[in-house]
């Protein structure tokens, strides 16, 4: 979406104060995200009273009426952008925008996106989109919506059922991102495993992306456990550009809690899945996420989750206190778990996740790993650090990073890969030195 706004004539400023319009993308998934989005809107309206603040995204899709009444300072509200329309790009105009607009599957000149263009005084035109700011990685949204029956989740009510993004649009978006300097393509969606487009499946899509010489890595995010087949694991092990990285949101491990969540599985099945993945990919890094304090969760059931996490030995993980969302089946579930109890459980879970991650990462000490450079901006990185990057086991923004010490090869820039010898593990992060051999 940001790229198409540029093609339409909007300029992007690095500082909101330099822009005429501030465009905020919001999340309406859980309470914390909603509160963070509202705080960002209020901050923008307060700090930049002489700018037009425009707000888009899931929060608007879900609560437009309440937001319009409650925050009249906002100049325009826009919900979810339209479906991908790869045959159209946008043309010239004269607005300048700054802010958090994220890449979307694209937009046609109708609905919400057309309303945004009209507000900015822009018109659709066939045009080659100019480049965005370069980064070493880029997200490719390959699907949206969800068909999973999870009782706690509001995504289906916001975005509807699962639908794959057209492969032609994904490849077009990938080409643009690679032109801008991205070297790692991160595939995201509510469940990337079930993507398909006519006669092309996920493996075929990854093979097409990996065939581009500019691509160093492809990374899969958000794989629902019941859809991670042995065939997919074997493919992951065989495709050299696909990261040995498994991002599986288990959500819990006790079968009764999972049943109330509308999910299947349990600790035994999940451990078997991890065992099969590690047999096929001995160096695989595994990430998961869990909900604590779900209605009816007992101390015994929570301790079963801790036992599972202890045995699973995740490289990365996150925990969340259950957020009751109106319109979801879980909203009416009783009995609830007291907030203080849920928070105490979250603290115990996150401490264990960090402890296990530290232990896993210490096994890398002395190993030579390939690190893709994300940043050479080292103002706050610490003495002796020459670059910040990630191994194949570290996804951008959600996992740890690798701090690189030593002299870099001449001309090193974001997106380049370095051979690094790991010297230290600090929680989720690694520290290493340039391999001079």
332: helix, strand or coil? helix
Query: Are the C-beta atoms of residues 50 and 79 closer than 8 Å to each other?
Result: no
Please state the φ and ψ torsions of residue 161, each to the nearest 5 degrees. -75, 170
Note the pLDDT of residue 107.
36
Residue 381 clears pLDDT 70, i.e. is over it? no
Domain with CATH 3.40.50 in the chain: 1-127
Query: Are the C-beta atoms of residues 63 and 101 closer than 8 Å to each other?
Result: no
Note the pLDDT of residue 105.
34
Comparing CA positions, the residue from 322, 313, 403 lying closest to residue 359 is 313
For all residues of the chain together, what is the average pLDDT? 90
Residue 230 clears pLDDT 80, i.e. is over it? yes
**What is the rounded distance in angstroms from the CA atom of residue 315 to the CA atom of residue 309?**
11
**What is the rounded distance in angstroms from the CA atom of residue 31 to the CA atom of residue 42?**
16
Residue whose structure tokens are 């309470």: 31
170: helix, strand or coil? helix
Give 67-114 pLDDT, tens digit per residue: 999 999 999 999 987 654 333 322 223 344 444 433 333 333 358 988
Query: Are the C-beta atoms of residues 57 and 79 closer than 8 Å to each other?
Result: yes
30: helix, strand or coil? coil
Give 280-317 pLDDT, tens digit per residue: 999 999 999 999 999 999 999 999 999 999 999 999 99
Note the pLDDT of residue 391.
97
- C-alpha torsion sign, points 226, 167, 214, 91: negative
> How distant is the alpha carbon of residue 136 from its chain centre?
15
> How distant is the alpha carbon of residue 305 from its chain centre?
24
Query: Are the C-beta atoms of residues 277 and 250 closer than 8 Å to each other?
Result: no
Domain with CATH 2.40.50.140 in the chain: 368-434
> How distant is the alpha carbon of residue 272 from its chain centre?
26
Task: Report, as an integer, the average pLDDT of 187-213.
Answer: 95
Taking residue 254's Cβ as centre, other Cβ atoms within 10 Å add up to 21
Please state which CATH number belongs to domain 368-434: 2.40.50.140
Residue 236 clears pLDDT 50, i.e. is over it? yes
Q: Which two tokens stand for residue 393?
A: 């086991």
Percent of the chain with pLDDT over 90: 78
The radius of gyration of the chain from alpha carbons, rounded to an integer in Å, stands at 22
pTM of the model: 0.88
Please state which CATH number belongs to domain 1-127: 3.40.50
> How distant is the alpha carbon of residue 202 from its chain centre?
18
207: helix, strand or coil? helix
**What is the rounded distance in angstroms from the CA atom of residue 45 to the CA atom of residue 195?**
39
**What is the rounded distance in angstroms from the CA atom of residue 3 to the CA atom of residue 10?**
9
Comparing CA positions, the residue from 370, 266, 247, 369 lying closest to residue 315 is 247
DSSP string, 100-112: -PPP-S---SSHH
Give 130-159 pLDDT, tens digit per residue: 666 668 999 999 999 999 899 999 999 888
23 forms beta bridges with 54, 99
Residue whose structure tokens are 């989720």: 428
């Amino acid at each position: 979406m940001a790229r198409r706004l540029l093609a339409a004539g909007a300029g992007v400023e690095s500082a909101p104060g330099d822009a005429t319009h501030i465009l905020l993308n919001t999340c309406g998934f859980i309470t914390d995200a909603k509160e963070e989005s509202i705080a960002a809107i209020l901050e923008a309206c307060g700090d930049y009273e002489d700018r037009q603040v425009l707000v888009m995204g899931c929060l608007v899709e879900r609560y437009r009426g309440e937001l319009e009444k409650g925050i009249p300072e906002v100049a325009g509200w826009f919900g979810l952008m339209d479906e991908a329309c790869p045959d159209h790009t946008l043309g010239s105009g004269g607005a300048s925008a700054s802010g958090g607009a994220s890449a979307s599957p694209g937009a046609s000149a109708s609905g919400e996106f057309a309303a945004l263009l009209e507000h900015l005084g822009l018109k659709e035109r066939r045009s080659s989109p100019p480049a965005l700011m370069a980064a070493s990685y880029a997200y490719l949204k390959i699907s949206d919506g969800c068909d999973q029956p999870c009782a706690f989740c509001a995504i289906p009510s916001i975005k509807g059922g699962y639908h794959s993004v057209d492969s032609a649009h994904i490849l077009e978006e990938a080409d643009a991102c690679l032109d801008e300097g991205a070297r790692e393509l991160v595939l995201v969606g509510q469940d990337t495993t079930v993507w398909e487009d006519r006669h092309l499946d996920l493996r075929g899509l990854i093979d097409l992306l990996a065939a581009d010489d500019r691509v160093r890595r492809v990374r899969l995010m958000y794989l629902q456990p019941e859809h991670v087949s042995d065939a997919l694991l074997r493919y992951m092990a065989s495709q050299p550009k696909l990261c040995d990285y498994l991002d599986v949101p288990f959500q819990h491990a006790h079968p009764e809690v999972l049943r109330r969540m509308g999910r299947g599985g349990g600790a035994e099945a999940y451990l078997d899945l991890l065992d099969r993945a590690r047999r096929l990919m001995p160096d695989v890094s595994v990430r998961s996420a869990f909900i604590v304090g779900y209605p009816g969760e007992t101390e015994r059931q929570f301790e079963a989750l801790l036992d599972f996490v202890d045995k699973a030995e995740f490289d990365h993980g996150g925990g969340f206190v259950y957020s009751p969302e109106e319109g979801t089946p879980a909203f009416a579930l009783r009995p609830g778990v007291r907030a203080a109890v849920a928070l105490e459980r979250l603290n115990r879970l996150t401490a264990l996740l960090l402890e296990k991650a530290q232990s896993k990462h210490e096994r890398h000490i002395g190993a030579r790993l390939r690190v893709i450079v994300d940043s050479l901006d080292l103002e706050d990185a610490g003495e002796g650090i020459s670059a910040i990057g990630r191994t194949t086991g570290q996804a951008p923004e959600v996992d740890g990073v690798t701090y690189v010490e030593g002299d870099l090869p001449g001309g090193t820039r974001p997106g380049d890969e370095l051979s690094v010898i790991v010297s230290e593990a600090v929680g989720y992060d690694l520290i290493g030195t340039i391999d001079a051999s």
